Amino acid sequence: MKIIDRLSPNFDARKTPVWFVVLHYTGMKDAETALKRLTDPAPKAGDYPGPWQAPDIDPATPLSRVSAHYVVGEDGTVFRVVDEEHRAWHAGVGSWAGQTDLNACAIGIEIANGGHDYGLPPYPDAQINAVIELVGDILSRRGLLPESVIGHSDIAPARKDDPGEHFPWKRLADAGVAIWPDADGVARIVCKRGDRGEAVHHLHAALSAFGYDAPEDESAKKAQFTETTEAIVRAFQRRFEPDACDGVARDSTMMKLEALVEMIEAGDED
């Protein structure tokens, strides 16, 4: 795989092993704009106009310095922005499988796509093929399992929607570089925001077992389907039920979630 260096000064020392690969969309109009932003040592609002900013923002307002390890362009071109051995700044505040500093333990891949602010355009085949090859190489070199590959919305469900419901997670799973549940189910609602009780407690336990930072219930009776629960269920649906991203847990949601937990637990036993 050919990789082009567009190196960023925005990184620091990595002090923990790599355990995850986090996939993002750039949320900008094209790869070149994203590369400029990810390599900018002193970004200002006026340099990156777009729908994500207030229209009356002062152009001189400093923006956060950000980066990722790789950017995959629309045509499948792969750019290295930060060496894998360094800690890139892509994840922000979030949690997965008990880890709360995902920058420290993950490799971040930004996939050039306008995101929801630009109508969430389809991901081109050439781009997805390049993502599969890149992720496969990372997993192979580092001895990571497919379940190590997660989305930005998985680690920060209340803040982030990327890579979004149009991202072809099943295609990655079919290529062996992500996971997908071998389970179906009906559309009957199991629980939704405002519900309480055993079904919510079971949902929270399964979400936590999969890796999400789900609410910890004092007891099954006191378990409540909160705004946080809804955000996590919606993040799960963006990956595994992209036609129903409403944050309502159905039979199909539970069956897929339980199948995924079983897959991970079986892998841990091997």
Catalytic positions: 110
Side chain identity, residue 249: A
Among 206, 103, 120, 108, residue whose Cα is nearest residue 151: 108
In sequence order, the 6+-apart residues with CB closer than 8 A to the CB of 85 are: 14
**Locus of tokens 């192979």:** 140
